[in-house]
């Protein structure tokens, strides 16, 4: 009986004994928790962390379970090339909406679908919940639980891993075959956590990740091409406890949007579109001036990485936006300050302007924002400015850029680049554009004697360029999209009127991509770029930020007023772009007249380049470089004329708007004809582009031979004259004969009448007559090499229309192309019939070959079609 009693007593004491054992016999229920963090560094803030050499514990409070927050990914340190640039966001606007879930003694990090919604408590909400599930991003076991309920998990592997999917970009960076990812694998053994910081509203972790490169080469910026280092900066950010009241978007003006598909009410459109904007509220009633002070102004902080030379114009660019916010009823709404050295740019409470230095430039500047996915409220913004672009403002831009890309970037823009542009990202082409613009300004100043060879650009120009770029990027972080129609709000004769442009702008929105405002007389340039916000900027800000929703609705109806012109990326680029008033890099209400004026300025300067660009002991490459940039801008000046052919003016007015316009209105016939003659006069005619031989002879080569320098043009040391000229001509020709344009011409014939449009026969006849001028005029003469190249290019495209027309080409266009070739064949036969008046061998061979090619094409085309 004693043994039984002792056994029963032992069994009763066993739980207490085991509990004592688990707590180290000291009676402390939190001993395991405390032992895990004993030697760790504690970082307190939005989330509390405990960090050791190989552990990163997150202390998760009970009220943080199931509580939604934001997760952002950013490249903390890149490689300065190949799309891996430090400071760039991996997700623009679309932050991940995440939460921590507790299941089976584990913590799950889940990604919550937020685009599909329904009013809480409705049957539709239950249907949404059944349809759209959460993705589990990461999981970790609970290592210890404190007596207060705080759970400890080791999340080291979450961040020293591929949570951000950065591997996809690394694989693209090392790719050796176009369109196929390269081989690069994450190497955990060479990766580690390098930064943990936590603030009241966000926590940041930066991890240095290494990817083992299995390709045979890597970008030259990588120290050892076998191991690609990329640091990923993770931000875990608090959502506002009280969601901001959203402002509905309106298609008459341009804001970035946060869009939900709301299934609650099927009687209306499913999509609910909120504009992206900061929370701005009045701190009391308005004063006598009708303005109120904001409770919390929008403050942008300049990081100390920005060179001192640029800080003042950048601050002015930031604070210029306060003028626009007065239209919304706010005083001093936007402010600029230097970021204190004691403050981290990673603290989400501070919107920043930051500096970036890269080797292979992938952008000029970018203005991304962190947005509340529930309402569109902008919570943070960290802009990046590329140092190479600013260097180009001050000194000669020396990157090689093909002039014909000035055409192709507008009409042949890729889907990928278009998507980036829609997000406000300045791609590499923007950097090249700003450089060639600076070179054109330099050339005009050299020609006008304003500066001497070798001089830096005047500070006035540099300040205006810096101020405009800053205003533009800040505008993106205020929620604004591009506006490529704003240039038409300025009359041509007001471009150099500084009183006009100071008040209204050289263009009515700093969200445009402008060309520098250069007077063709070489002097009296006026403002090169906008010195402040324009009339459109005031209007669009008044819509987005006025406190009253009903007032905003009335503001939106003012789209037809002068100074409110708006058209954005998808309106300006691609073969489908229809409106000749929506352009990148043009000026004034008359793009044709402005383009002809700009082209005349460049044509007058080119033959004189060596005279004013060179001085003793300068490299001849300076002339080549300035010619390359000037000819690039020459192509830019002609590009808008293409849109006039079969073009339509496109408006966003709604029914009943004051002075509202129809959605599409025809471009007058005389304007279409003028545009076509402009392309002929400045690109296709025999005398369109003539340079004296002595100018060509002074085109020197860049003889610096080391990493970071390109000293050939597509493998050639000497300048490829024919290829450069023909590139621009062929690109213009391709766009005129684009299937979409030809089909649009047929539509406008029906829509507005044949008598009101340039028809396909008129287009093909005009172009053919200009290009084959030597064969049209009797008795004809010798044809120089540039003209022979252009004629062959024309023949290639016309033959393609007959024998292998691109998809979408209307049958009428093929028929007219055949008729045009038949006519050309007859003319060539007459030119080659005796007497031939002494054609040289080049000309005779060219005309004979062309005639035979047409004959074969007509026979082949006829067989294919029948």
230, 166 contact by CB (below 8 A): yes
Comparing 43 with 398, the larger pLDDT belongs to: 43
484, 515 contact by CB (below 8 A): no
Q: At what angle do helices 428-447 and 621-644 cross, to 10 degrees?
A: 110
Please give the structure tokens belonging to residue 742. 């030809």
SS3 245: coil
Which of the four pLDDT bands, split at 50, 70 and 90, describes residue 753? very high
Nearest to 806 by CA among 732, 714, 720, 742: 742
**pLDDT for res 87:** 75
**pLDDT for res 596:** 96
Among 71-85, 490-504, 545-559, top mean pLDDT goes to 545-559
Nearest to 470 by CA among 397, 539, 528, 386: 386
**203-260 pLDDT per residue, tens:** 999 999 999 999 988 888 888 999 999 999 999 999 999 999 999 999 999 999 999 9
Has residue 13 got a pLDDT over 60?
Answer: no
Integer Cα distance of 555 and 557 in angstroms:
5
229, 77 contact by CB (below 8 A): yes
**pLDDT for res 617:** 81
Which of the four pLDDT bands, split at 50, 70 and 90, describes residue 814? very high
Please give the structure tokens belonging to residue 509. 């929105």
**pLDDT for res 20:** 44
CB-CB neighbours of 167 under 10 Å: 18
Has residue 426 got a pLDDT over 60?
Answer: no
Q: How does DSSP assign 168-197, residue by residue?
A: HHHHHHT--STTS---EEEEEEEEEEEEEE
SS3 355: strand
Which of the four pLDDT bands, split at 50, 70 and 90, describes residue 421? low
Which of the four pLDDT bands, split at 50, 70 and 90, describes residue 21? very low
**pLDDT for res 386:** 81
- Per-residue burial over 574-609, b if 16 or more Cβ lie within 10 Å, else e, is bbebbbbbbbbbbbbbbbbebbbbbbebbbebbeeb
Has residue 658 got a pLDDT over 80?
Answer: yes
Average pLDDT over residues 501-526: 88
**pLDDT for res 363:** 63
**pLDDT for res 22:** 47
The phi and psi torsions of 635 (rounded to 5 degrees) equal: -65, -40
674: which strand partners?
none
Which of the four pLDDT bands, split at 50, 70 and 90, describes residue 717? confident
Please give the structure tokens belonging to residue 852. 């035979």
**pLDDT for res 721:** 87
Has residue 431 got a pLDDT over 90?
Answer: no
The torsion of the CA quartet 720, 726, 728, 729, rounded to 10 degrees, works out to 170
Lowest mean pLDDT among 19-33, 40-54, 188-202, 737-751: 19-33
Q: How does DSSP assign 446-508, residue by residue?
A: HHTTSS-TTPPPPHHHHHHHHHHHHHHHHHHHTTBPP-SSGGGGS-GGGTT-HHHHHHH-SSS
Please give the structure tokens belonging to residue 792. 């062959």
Please give the structure tokens belonging to residue 168. 């996809």
Integer Cα distance of 591 and 567 in angstroms:
15
Has residue 750 got a pLDDT over 90?
Answer: yes
Average pLDDT over residues 507-516: 95
Integer Cα distance of 546 and 532 in angstroms:
20
Q: How does DSSP assign 646-660, residue by residue?
A: T-EEE--PPTT-TT-
The model's pTM is 0.90
Q: At what angle do helices 621-644 and 591-605 cross, to 10 degrees?
A: 160
Has residue 467 got a pLDDT over 90?
Answer: yes
Has residue 3 got a pLDDT over 60?
Answer: no
**pLDDT for res 412:** 84
Which of the four pLDDT bands, split at 50, 70 and 90, describes residue 316? very high
SS3 164: coil
**pLDDT for res 25:** 44
Integer Cα distance of 355 and 386 in angstroms:
6
> Residues of the chain with pLDDT > 90: what percent?
65
**147-183 pLDDT per residue, tens:** 999 999 999 999 999 999 999 999 998 998 887 898 9
The phi and psi torsions of 145 (rounded to 5 degrees) equal: -130, 125
The phi and psi torsions of 241 (rounded to 5 degrees) equal: -65, -40
289, 516 contact by CB (below 8 A): no
Please give the structure tokens belonging to residue 530. 């906008």
**pLDDT for res 359:** 64
**598-613 pLDDT per residue, tens:** 999 999 999 998 988 8
Phi-psi label, residue 156: left if phi above 0, alpha if psi -120 to 50, beta otherwise = alpha
Integer Cα distance of 222 and 207 in angstroms:
18
Lowest mean pLDDT among 206-220, 368-382, 405-419: 405-419
Please enumerate in sequence order all residues whose Cβ is within 8 A of that of 528, keeping only pairs 6 or more positions apart, or say none.
441, 460, 461, 464, 465, 516, 517, 518
587, 485 contact by CB (below 8 A): no
Has residue 777 got a pLDDT over 90?
Answer: no
Could you tell me whether strands 351-356 and 378-386 are parallel, antiparallel, or unpaired per DSSP bridges? parallel
Average pLDDT over residues 486-490: 96
Please give the structure tokens belonging to residue 758. 């340039």
**pLDDT for res 621:** 82
Please enumerate in sequence order all residues whose Cβ is within 8 A of that of 41, keeping only pairs 6 or more positions apart, or say none.
50, 51, 52
Integer Cα distance of 317 and 469 in angstroms:
8
For the chain, the average pLDDT equals 89
Average pLDDT over residues 630-636: 94
84, 230 contact by CB (below 8 A): yes
Has residue 9 got a pLDDT over 50?
Answer: no
Average pLDDT over residues 648-670: 96
Sheet arrangement for strand 48-51: 41-43, 48-51, 56-60, 151-154, 135-145, 106-111, 96-103, 69-77, 227-237, 202-213, 184-198
HEC string of 393-450 equals HHCCCCCCCCCCHHHHHHHCCCHHHHHHHHCCCCEHHHHHHHHHHHHHHHHHHHHCCC
Which of the four pLDDT bands, split at 50, 70 and 90, describes residue 523? low
**pLDDT for res 300:** 97
Integer Cα distance of 163 and 644 in angstroms:
49
């Amino acid at each position: 009986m004693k043994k039984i009693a002792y056994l029963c007593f032992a069994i009763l004491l066993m739980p207490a004994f085991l509990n004592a054992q688990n707590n180290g016999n000291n009676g402390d229920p939190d001993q395991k928790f405390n032992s895990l963090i004993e030697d760790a560094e504690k970082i307190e803030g939005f989330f509390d962390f405990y960090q050791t050499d190989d552990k990163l514990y997150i202390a998760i409070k009970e009220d943080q379970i199931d509580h939604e927050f934001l997760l952002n990914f950013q490249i903390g340190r890149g490689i300065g090339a190949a799309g891996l640039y430090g400071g760039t966001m991996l997700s623009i606007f679309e932050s991940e909406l995440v939460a921590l879930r507790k299941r089976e003694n584990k913590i799950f990090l889940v990604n919550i679908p937020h685009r599909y919604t329904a009013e809480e408590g409705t049957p539709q909400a239950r249907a949404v919940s059944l349809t759209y599930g959460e993705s589990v991003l990461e999981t970790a076991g609970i290592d210890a639980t404190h007596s207060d309920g705080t759970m400890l998990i080791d999340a080291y592997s979450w961040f020293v891993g591929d949570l951000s999917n950065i591997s996809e970009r690394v694989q693209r960076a090392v790719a050796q075959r176009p369109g196929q990812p390269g081989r690069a694998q994450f190497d955990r053994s060479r990766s580690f956590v390098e930064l943990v910081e936590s603030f009241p509203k966000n926590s940041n972790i930066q991890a240095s990740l290494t990817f083992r490169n299995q390709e045979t080469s890597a970008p030259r910026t990588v120290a050892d091409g076998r191991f690609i280092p990329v640091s990923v900066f993770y931000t875990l950010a608090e959502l506002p406890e009280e969601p901001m009241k959203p402002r509905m978007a309106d298609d008459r003006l341009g804001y970035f949007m946060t869009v939900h598909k709301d299934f609650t009410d099927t009687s209306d459109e499913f999509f609910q579109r909120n504009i992206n904007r900061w929370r701005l509220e009045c701190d009391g009633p308005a004063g006598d001036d009708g303005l109120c002070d904001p409770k919390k102004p929008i403050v942008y902080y300049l990081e100390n990485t920005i060179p001192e030379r640029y800080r003042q114009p950048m601050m002015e660019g930031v604070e210029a936006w306060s003028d626009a916010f007065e239209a919304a009823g706010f005083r001093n709404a936007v402010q600029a300050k230097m970021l204190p050295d004691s403050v981290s740019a990673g603290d989400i409470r501070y919107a920043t302007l930051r500096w970036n230095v890269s080797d292979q430039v992938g952008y000029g500047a970018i203005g991304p924002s962190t947005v509340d996915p529930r309402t569109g409220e902008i919570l943070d913004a960290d802009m990046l400015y590329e140092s190479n672009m600013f260097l180009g403002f001050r000194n000669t831009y020396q990157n090689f850029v093909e002039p014909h890309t000035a055409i192709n970037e507008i009409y042949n823009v890729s889907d990928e680049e278009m998507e980036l542009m829609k997000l406000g990202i300045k791609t590499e082409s923007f950097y090249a554009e700003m450089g060639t613009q600076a070179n054109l300004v330099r050339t005009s100043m050299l020609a006008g004697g304003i500066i001497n060879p070798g001089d830096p650009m005047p500070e006035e120009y540099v300040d205006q360029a810096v101020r405009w770029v800053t205003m533009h990027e800040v505008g993106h972080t205020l929620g604004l999209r591009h506006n490529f129609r704003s240039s038409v709000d300025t009359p041509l004769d007001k471009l150099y009127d500084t009183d006009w442009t100071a008040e209204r702008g050289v263009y009515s929105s700093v969200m445009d991509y402008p060309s520098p405002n250069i007077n063709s007389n070489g002097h009296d340039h006026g403002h090169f770029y906008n010195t402040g916000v324009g009339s459109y900027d005031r209007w669009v800000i008044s819509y987005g930020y006025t406190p009253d929703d009903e007032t905003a609705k009335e503001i939106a109806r003012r789209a037809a007023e002068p100074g409110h012109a708006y058209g954005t990326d998808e309106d300006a680029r691609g073969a489908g772009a229809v409106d000749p008033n929506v352009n990148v890099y043009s000026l004034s209400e008359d793009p044709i007249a402005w383009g002809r004026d700009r082209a005349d300025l460049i044509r007058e300067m080119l033959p004189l380049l060596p005279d004013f660009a060179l001085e003793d002991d300068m490299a001849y490459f300076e002339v080549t470089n300035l010619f390359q940039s000037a000819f690039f801008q020459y192509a830019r000046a002609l590009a808008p004329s293409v849109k006039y052919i079969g073009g339509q003016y496109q408006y966003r007015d709604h029914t009943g708007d004051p002075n509202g316009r129809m959605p599409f209105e025809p471009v007058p016939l005389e304007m279409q004809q003028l545009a076509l003659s402009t392309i002929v006069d400045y690109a296709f005619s025999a005398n369109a582009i003539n340079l004296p031989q002595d100018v060509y002879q002074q085109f020197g080569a860049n003889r610096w031979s080391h990493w970071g320098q390109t000293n050939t043009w597509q493998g050639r040391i000497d300048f490829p004259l024919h290829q450069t000229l023909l590139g621009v001509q062929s690109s213009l020709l391709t766009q005129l004969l684009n299937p979409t344009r030809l089909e649009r011409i047929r539509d406008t014939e029906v829509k507005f009448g044949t008598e009101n449009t340039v028809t396909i026969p008129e287009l093909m006849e005009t172009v053919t007559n200009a290009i084959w001028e030597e064969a049209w005029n009797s008795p004809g003469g010798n044809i120089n090499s540039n003209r022979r190249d252009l004629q062959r290019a024309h023949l290639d495209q016309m033959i393609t229309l007959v024998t292998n027309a691109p998809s979408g080409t209307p049958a009428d266009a093929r028929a007219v192309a055949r008729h045009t070739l038949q006519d050309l064949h007859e003319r060539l036969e007459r030119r080659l019939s005796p007497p031939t008046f002494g054609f040289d061998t080049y000309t005779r061979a060219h005309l004979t070959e062309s005639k035979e090619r047409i004959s074969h094409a007509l026979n082949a085309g006829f067989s294919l079609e029948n």
